Structure 1
Amino acid sequence: MSVAPKASTPAWPTPPKGGWTADDLDQLPNLPPHTELIDGRLVFVSPQTIFHERAIDFLKWQLQSVAPDDFEIFRELTIDLDQQNRPEPDVVVVRADAAEDLTQTRFPVSAVLLAIEVMSEESASRDRETKPMKYARAKIPHYWRVENERGRAVIHAFELEPTTGTYTSVGIFRDRMKVEAPFPIDLDLTRIKTRRDTAE
Structure 2
Amino acid sequence: MALHALDPQALEERLKKSIRTIPDYPQPGILFYDITTLFQDPEAYKLAIDHLVERVRPFRPDVIVGPEARGFVVGGPLAYALGVGFAFVRKPGKLPREVVTAEYEKEYGPDSLAIHRDALLPGQRVVVADDLLATGGTMGATVDLVRKLGGEVVAAAFLIELAHLGGRKFLLEEKKVPEVVTLVRYSGEG
TM-score range, shorter chain: 0.3 to 0.5
Between 1 and 2, higher relative CO (CA 8 Å, sep ≥ 6) is seen in: 2
TM-score when scaled to structure 1?
Answer: 0.32
TM-score when scaled to structure 2?
Answer: 0.33
Larger Cα Rg: Structure 1 or Structure 2? Answer: 1
Write 1 or 2 for the structure with the bigger share of helix. Answer: 2
